[in-house]
Every structure is written in structure tokens, then in C-alpha cells.
A and B are shown apart, each in its own frame.
Chain A
């Protein structure tokens, strides 16, 4: 049976003021279908067994396999859609971390904790999670929660999550453990929803992409692919590009 402890804790927290938007990261190989459809389609998720679209709040986390090994996947150059905050109101499910990594976190949690224990109300906004654990949006952005904090013995789920995001568990995880995940279950037409399209410079040579961006009113923000040939570089570079966009907007 799902424990409502975490959900209630977040529901009662005041949302932090401001906004960061939602991000959806994919790779260049999918650009063609995006241009053709102008929407995001749900795809079957092996964690929940449902057709879902995944977003992260603010942080451009990328849902890929948690292999945990030293061998890196050579990924395609990534593109990131930055979408309006209002999209979160369409949420089917919201979790305070990348659900795909739960199997790894759970080995560091008490074995009684399950993934649904960490779901918040779909009607609550991610800014409530941020307000509950961070003092500022920058704190969330840089994984710097409010410290120190103590919790009652009965607040075990909240304490477990807090330990996860403060690095207080026996194992350390990457930033996806603190990136708020927003899932949609229905297709999302993108007209009017996209604030920025971040991707390799060369994708904007394509007249179809140029038209799409102009139709959306989105800002095209290109980066140089040849700076990012190290797999470990890719995530960090995209992080920098999104961070710069948010700073240009005055949101960070």
C-alpha cells in the first residue's frame, strides 16, 4: 500500500516563486519525426508499462540506461526543447527524481520503500518540491538543498529522499537523482509551447527546422558539435546551454 507521507509533505509545502520551464531532451536522429509531426508522442515505458512522454523540470536530464559501468555510450548529438511551465499542469505523474534510476536508488533506501511512495499529486506543481527542499531555484539547479535538516523518525520517506539529494546515502548518484520528472500520458502539440530549441548549429540549416522554429516563436540556440566529442562532455554541455538560456531569461 502506498504511503502518502511524501505526497502530503509536498502538498503542504509552498511553491517557490519563479519558473524554470520543462525540458525534453532527445537526439538528432529523432529530429526528422519531430519536424514532421510538430508534437511529442507518448512511447511505451518499461518502468510503468504505460505510454508516456518524459520531461524534467528545469534541468536537462537525459533518460538513458543506468548501466553504472565505466564504458560510456556514444550518443547522438542531443537536442533539447525548453517548454513553458504551464505544461506541468497537464502532468499524469510527477516524481522528484528520474524514475528510471529508482532500482539503483532503492538499493540505498530501506527495502520497504517503493516508487509510488515518492509520487506527488499530479495537480501539484514541481515548484512545490523545490520549495520543500531548496531555498532558491539556483539551489535546485546546482543540487544544493537546504542544509542541515532533521526529520522525525516517522518521516522516513522524506528523510530518504533528502539523503538522496544531499549525497548522504552510501552510494552517490548523478544529477538525475534530484531532477524532478514530469510525465505526460497524452500527445503534446508543440505549437506555442516551445520557448527554445537547443541543438547543433547545423540543424538550423534545414529550411523545415527554420520554419518550425519560426512557427513556434521559439528561440533557436545552436552549439558546435565538434566541441562535444567526449561522451562525458555531452550532458554537461547541454546543461550549460540550458543554464545560459535560463539566465538570459532572468529565471536563474
Chain B
């Protein structure tokens, strides 16, 4: 298990081979901490953690300058050249220095050490010569050794990368040294060769798109290494019989420890039959358990019980464990930051309003079932590396977005990105995307690249998980208190990135706003947190009309009524989720208004009636109405434009968001005192509002 320290200083270097080559920096913590640490990293340039080790008995050289490393920052590297020459530097500086020393004569007679240098530091321009020379060195020692080494050391990593397979990482939290489930890189294929042909023997079925990528990757490798690769490449389905059940393939098991109020909630199904053991925290201590440990322990609790979750996590020891927090608030709260500062294990927060306790009849495990499904899928081949692969960031949020057939991928992606932003995700944070249900997704659709402006996506393609409904899931890094932007700046930065996702060009504006531009149209955008930040309208100027508003105001915390009230005015009001509908080059105002007014079963309010009235007037102005002779549209327009227009309009019914809304417009009173009215069907289409007459209504009204 990694230590909890966040930074350390390098005090010495250990030489694991007693020969020239890579050295391992040894670190010390702060004052009073007399332990020795080494770095843990899953990517060569990113420090994931520090673990304590015993001070080596020999082959240790002290450092005078003591470089500092910080968790999440650059790693520190060192190299011993033949003689006394040595380099110690952080990754980027180290890499550049070593790049300049590749041709150093002292390394000339060490072709395999050169291979390690070039391969580790990914020095592309040196690969051809160095790798070829390394191959020849092995070939000179043993006839078959060179081909087998090349297959393992060059081909398999390169081809695995082509189909985004994880190569594994260094840290194996919770795994005892020598445990057979410690790191074993097992790609889903093996490379065999016989001089004339390279064969890729797959251990599992390959998608057509992956086979294409593998072939293309091999073609590129032939161009790079023409002297050491056969030209003939073949992908063959495996003939290897299925392996006997092994610890690597045993069913994945979860142990979920309920904390706080969740402990008194009754479970509604037998989770053990799904390999999930559920225990109350008050009955659990890891030292008392016997039998096989689970592959993953999950500490589950409500956000408000964060203290209980922290206490439980401290008892976990070396067990592989994460914390899942059920939050009733979509926005990050101060207690989230307190929680983050105290906890050592990776955390996932998901929005699941849950009161907990005996009165809540929902099963708490049900709320995390989609997440369990994904974790199970991730652990199928590599249960022991889950923490390292999934949790590059310590704190994360888990979000989902249901997809319907008509959804354009970018639209769904923008909605999900907006949700993530409002949940406290870090802009440019680490993110993984999952696709559940294959109905609407094409295998080669570049879902992950949609999120590139917003997050650091861990792979080019999302992980596909079997499930009944089509859903996008995003596991993304959550911002930590004291790190990164302040909340307002984070929100603005994130919104700007969502516009980029949507296809807009973003540039600086004036007085706190920014500009978006596409298809020769340009708008100013102002992001506001609460209503007090909304700029005042100028009563001296007439409203410019919905499609001609000079300023787009995005409410990061706005409610529906604020938007509806605002959209009768001089500016256009929307939310970050609405950016999904802002397709450049289209009249995006109308789909947004349709969503604001009619997307879900609407709560009829004064603001809703007033905006609807304004839209009916707009439809009349745009000549988008039935020219029925006996209907006085001019009079209707006047009534609905008045200051108390809500007197003249009422909702009758709405049969679903895709159907027109039925309105009743009261025109004038007849002689007997009853109101005359007309029922109209009102829709907001993609190019504007539309109103058509249904029938004059009876004097007995059926109102909402």
C-alpha cells in the first residue's frame, strides 16, 4: 500500500544491477519521518505514490542536492554511465539529457543497455538503429532467442498499444511480494514467428476494427524495422484450449462494507449470488477475516457519514480497497474537501440521493450496481492492477448519461461533460469512458476523442460493457480543495471547453465574458453562478428578439424559472447542459427553449406561461400560424404581449415532449360574461415556434 505522504526529497540512489544503467532514487519524508521511500508510477512521467522500503545494504550513493518530488508531479530518474558520470533529473529534463547521450562512445559497446534507454524514454528517432542492434546481439548468442525476445520486447507492447490494451503498471497495492497474482503482463494475444511469418495468436475474439488496427500497426513496424521483422503477418484465432480455472480467472469478488446510516438499511436481494459480499461496518475488521480475500473491498457510505468511511479505511491495511460515497448534492460541498484531505484510498462519488436508515426501502447496493458492473469488467483479466489502472487520480466522480437512438454522440458527450463539470470534475483531469449496451454505438466511433478538449482521456476507445440499456459512463478526476482553479474559474474554464467540444472557437472577451464563434457567427458569453451576477437589462432598449440577443448568459447554478424569466428579456439564458444543443450554424435557440419549457413533464408556473405567450407572439410575427379567417391573430398577439399576458393563456395538456403542447388562449368575453377561447397546438420546431388552431373550446374549461 502506498504511503500517505505527498512529497519527498531524494537522498540517495540505489543501483539494482551494480553496473552502469538506471538507478533507483531513494527518498526521505519530512521532519520526524525516518522511513525510506521509492516511487510508484504507472506512466514513466507521472508519480502515483511513494512506498516505504528498507534501506539497501550496499550499492547506494548519497545525493548532495536533494531533488523534490510530489505526488501527481514528474517522476525523478537517474542513470549511471560507465565511469563516474551520473545524471539525476526529473522526467522531462532527464529524457532530453539522455536523448543527447545516445551516441556517446561510452555506450557504444552496450547495445542492450541502449535498448533499455531508448525503449524506456521512447526516443523515437533512435529506435530503428538501437532496436536492430539489440536484436542482432541476441541473435549472436542463440539462434531462436532473438526472435522470441523481439516478439516479447518490441512487437507485443507495440501491438497492444495499437488496440489500447493496458501494459500494466508498477504499483500493486495490496499484493504481497511473491504472490502469484502480483504483476503479470498478460496481453490478450501472443506473438509467434518462424522466420518467414509473424503470427498473432489471439487469446480472445478480436473485433474487426482491432484486427485492422493491428495490421496497420504491423505495417508501420515493418517500415521502422525492415531488417528484423518478417513481412508476412497473420492474425489467427487461438487454438489453445481454455486454461484451467486459475486465480487469474476466478470469479471476481467484491466485499462491500456498509458504514454510517447504510448499516441499518435492509438488503433487498441476495448479492452473494453475484459475488458481492455485504457486511456491516460495525461487524468487520480485516484482521478477523479468514478465508480468501476479496479482489476488491468497497467501503460504501453516504457523503454525510464521511467520518465513518475514513475510520473504516484506516483499518484496511494492505487490502486493495476503494471508497464509494453516495452524495445527495450534485455540486461539490465543503465537507467533500474535508473528506478528501483525510482519506488515503481512492474515492468515487456518485449522485445517489439516499436517506439511508431503516425507513429508506431502497437497497444501497442497487445504487452502485452500474459501477460494480464496470469494476467487474475491468477486473476480468487483471484484478490485481485495478487500483493502478483506474485510479490515476485519488478522487473521482462517476456519472452516467442514458443514450437514445436520436442522440448525436457530441450532444450526449456535451451533456455528460456538463454534468461532470457541475459535479466538481477537474478540467484536464484523468478520465475513463465506458459504453454500456451496444445498440447505438459503432465499434469505430471515436467516443473518447469527443471529450479530448475537456479531460485527459486514458484511451482512444471506451470500454464496452454488456448491459441492457445504452448508457455512457464517465469516471473522472474530481478537483481537490487547494489544488487547481477556484470554483468560479474552474466553471468558466470548463464551460469554455464544452463549447470547444461542441465545435465552437473560443476567444477572450471583455468584462469577464468570452467570445464563441463558428460558421461566421459570433456571440459573447457570460458565466454566472447565482442570479445576483446576472447583468441588468437596459429598459431603454427594446428586446432584440430571441435569436438576436447580444449576450448569452450561462447559469452554472440556475433554476428553471430563472432561465424562463430571463429568456423573455434582452439576453439569452441557458445552462452548461444546453451547450449540447448549440450546434454551430443552426438556429440552436429553439431546441434550447423547447428543452427548457417542455423537456420533462413541466411544472406550470407564471414564468412558463409568460415565456410561452412570448413564443406564440413570435410565431405570429414569423407568420408561422394557421391563417384561419375567424381567428383574430392580431388581437391574440396584443393580449399575449401585455404585461399581464398570463391571464390570457393556459396549458391544457402535453402528451409527451415530442408532441405539441395544447394551449387555451382566452380572447375576449362574450355578452353573457363567459370567456371565448381558442385551443391551439403549439410546438417549438428546430427552426422556430409554430402554432395552429385546434378548435374553439367550450366554455367549460379543462385547465392544467
A233 touches B142 (CB 8 A): no
Does A187 sit within 8 A of B, measured CB to CB?
Answer: no
A74 touches B38 (CB 8 A): yes
Does B18 sit within 8 A of A, measured CB to CB?
Answer: yes
B39 touches A172 (CB 8 A): no
A201 touches B134 (CB 8 A): yes
- Nearest-CB distance from A205 to chain B (Å)? 4
Does B116 sit within 8 A of A, measured CB to CB?
Answer: yes
A220-B138, A222-B112 known; A144+B245 contact, CB < 8 A: yes
A204-B141, A219-B145 known; A229+B178 contact, CB < 8 A: no
Residue from A201, A203, A237, A243 in contact with B183 in the complex, judged by beta carbons closer than 8 Å: A237
- Nearest-CB distance from B134 to chain A (Å)? 7
Does B244 sit within 8 A of A, measured CB to CB?
Answer: yes
A235-B177, A236-B182 known; A210+B140 contact, CB < 8 A: yes
* Surface stretch bound by A, among B48-56, B389-397, B569-577: B48-56
* Surface stretch bound by B, among A33-41, A65-73, A109-117: A65-73
Residue from A73, A175, A204, A227 in contact with B53 in the complex, judged by beta carbons closer than 8 Å: A73
A174 touches B16 (CB 8 A): no
Does B185 sit within 8 A of A, measured CB to CB?
Answer: yes
- Nearest-CB distance from B121 to chain A (Å)? 9
- Nearest-CB distance from B57 to chain A (Å)? 9
A62 and B317 alpha carbons, distance in the complex (Å): 25
B18 touches A74 (CB 8 A): no
Q: What residue of chain B has the Cβ atom nearest to residue A200's Cβ?
A: B17
A175-B179, A233-B183 known; A220+B120 contact, CB < 8 A: no
A 199-252 contacts with B by CB, 8 A? 200-205, 210, 213-214, 217-237, 239-240, 243-244, 247-248
B40 touches A72 (CB 8 A): no
Q: What residue of chain B has the Cβ atom nearest to residue A79's Cβ?
A: B17
B137 touches A204 (CB 8 A): yes
Main secondary structure of the interface of B (DSSP, over half): loop
- CB-CB under 8 A from A203, the residues of chain B are 17, 19
A219 and B111 alpha carbons, distance in the complex (Å): 18
B38 touches A202 (CB 8 A): no
Residue from A72, A138, A243 in contact with B184 in the complex, judged by beta carbons closer than 8 Å: A243
A229 touches B180 (CB 8 A): no
A 136-151 contacts with B by CB, 8 A? 136, 138-139, 142-144
Q: What residue of chain A has the Cβ atom nearest to residue B113's Cβ?
A: A202
A235 touches B145 (CB 8 A): no
B182 touches A248 (CB 8 A): no
- CB-CB under 8 A from B21, the residues of chain A are 200, 202, 225
Does B335 sit within 8 A of A, measured CB to CB?
Answer: no
A90 and B564 alpha carbons, distance in the complex (Å): 89
Does A167 sit within 8 A of B, measured CB to CB?
Answer: yes
Residue from A62, A139, A244 in contact with B178 in the complex, judged by beta carbons closer than 8 Å: A62
Does B14 sit within 8 A of A, measured CB to CB?
Answer: yes
B16 touches A77 (CB 8 A): yes
A167 and B54 alpha carbons, distance in the complex (Å): 28
- Nearest-CB distance from A107 to chain B (Å)? 14
B153 touches A224 (CB 8 A): yes
B 275-289 contacts with A by CB, 8 A? none
Does A52 sit within 8 A of B, measured CB to CB?
Answer: no
Does A76 sit within 8 A of B, measured CB to CB?
Answer: yes
- CB-CB under 8 A from B111, the residues of chain A are 205
Binary per-residue interface labels of chain B (174-200) against chain A in the complex, 1 for a CB within 8 Å, 0 otherwise: 011111111111100010000000000
Range of interface residues on chain A?
35 or more
Does A61 sit within 8 A of B, measured CB to CB?
Answer: yes
A236 touches B183 (CB 8 A): yes
* Surface stretch bound by A, among B258-266, B290-298, B530-538: B290-298
B244 touches A138 (CB 8 A): yes
A220-B142, A229-B38, A229-B170 known; A138+B243 contact, CB < 8 A: yes
Does B461 sit within 8 A of A, measured CB to CB?
Answer: no
Q: What residue of chain B has the Cβ atom nearest to residue A213's Cβ?
A: B141
A71 touches B178 (CB 8 A): no
- CB-CB under 8 A from A89, the residues of chain B are none
A204 touches B112 (CB 8 A): yes
B112 touches A240 (CB 8 A): no
A77 touches B17 (CB 8 A): yes
Q: Size of chain B's interface in residues, with CB distance under 8 A?
A: 72
Binary per-residue interface labels of chain A (29-62) against chain B in the complex, 1 for a CB within 8 Å, 0 otherwise: 1000000000000000000000000000001011
Does A176 sit within 8 A of B, measured CB to CB?
Answer: yes
Binary per-residue interface labels of chain A (168-190) against chain B in the complex, 1 for a CB within 8 Å, 0 otherwise: 00101011100000000000000
Does A135 sit within 8 A of B, measured CB to CB?
Answer: yes
Does A28 sit within 8 A of B, measured CB to CB?
Answer: yes
Find the residue from A202, A219, A247 having the highest chain B CB count within 10 A: A202
Residue from B22, B26, B40, B317 in contact with A225 in the complex, judged by beta carbons closer than 8 Å: B22
B148 touches A248 (CB 8 A): yes
A244 touches B152 (CB 8 A): yes
Q: What residue of chain B has the Cβ atom nearest to residue A59's Cβ?
A: B180
A227 touches B17 (CB 8 A): no
A156 and B138 alpha carbons, distance in the complex (Å): 51
A74 touches B14 (CB 8 A): yes
A48 and B178 alpha carbons, distance in the complex (Å): 23
A202 touches B178 (CB 8 A): no
A142-B248, A143-B247, A218-B142 known; A76+B18 contact, CB < 8 A: yes
A136 and B242 alpha carbons, distance in the complex (Å): 13
- Nearest-CB distance from A145 to chain B (Å)? 11
Find the residue from B35, B179, B318 having the highest chain A CB count within 10 A: B179
Does B246 sit within 8 A of A, measured CB to CB?
Answer: yes
- Nearest-CB distance from B148 to chain A (Å)? 6
- CB-CB under 8 A from A205, the residues of chain B are 109-113, 137
A235 touches B142 (CB 8 A): no
B246 touches A142 (CB 8 A): yes
B 77-111 contacts with A by CB, 8 A? 109-111
- CB-CB under 8 A from B243, the residues of chain A are 138
A167-B292, A174-B178, A235-B177 known; A220+B145 contact, CB < 8 A: yes
Does B164 sit within 8 A of A, measured CB to CB?
Answer: no
- CB-CB under 8 A from B293, the residues of chain A are 172
- CB-CB under 8 A from A202, the residues of chain B are 17, 19-21, 110, 112-113, 116
Does B149 sit within 8 A of A, measured CB to CB?
Answer: yes
A232 touches B18 (CB 8 A): no
Residue from A136, A175, A201, A237 in contact with B112 in the complex, judged by beta carbons closer than 8 Å: A201
- CB-CB under 8 A from A231, the residues of chain B are 38, 51, 53, 177
- CB-CB under 8 A from A223, the residues of chain B are 153
- CB-CB under 8 A from A62, the residues of chain B are 178
- CB-CB under 8 A from B35, the residues of chain A are 71
- CB-CB under 8 A from B182, the residues of chain A are 232-233, 235-236, 239
A176 and B177 alpha carbons, distance in the complex (Å): 10
A77 and B16 alpha carbons, distance in the complex (Å): 5
- Nearest-CB distance from B179 to chain A (Å)? 5
Q: What residue of chain B has the Cβ atom nearest to residue A30's Cβ?
A: B18
A82 and B602 alpha carbons, distance in the complex (Å): 73
- CB-CB under 8 A from B185, the residues of chain A are 240
- CB-CB under 8 A from A136, the residues of chain B are 244
Binary per-residue interface labels of chain A (115-143) against chain B in the complex, 1 for a CB within 8 Å, 0 otherwise: 00000000000000000000110110011
Residue from B18, B145, B184, B292 in contact with A221 in the complex, judged by beta carbons closer than 8 Å: B145
A-B contact pairs, 10 of them (CB 8 A): A59-B180, A73-B54, A74-B54, A138-B243, A174-B177, A205-B137, A219-B144, A222-B138, A224-B119, A231-B38
Given contacts A72-B53, A230-B40, A239-B180, 12 further A-B contacts (CB under 8 A): A62-B178, A71-B54, A76-B16, A175-B179, A176-B178, A202-B17, A217-B142, A219-B148, A229-B38, A232-B171, A240-B185, A240-B186
Residues of B within 8 A of A (CB): 1, 14, 16-22, 24, 26, 35, 38-40, 44, 51-56, 59, 109-113, 115-116, 119-120, 134, 137-138, 140-142, 144-145, 148-149, 152-153, 170-172, 175-186, 190, 243-248, 290-293, 317-318
Name the 3 nearest CB pairs between A and B, nearest first: A236-B182, A142-B246, A236-B183
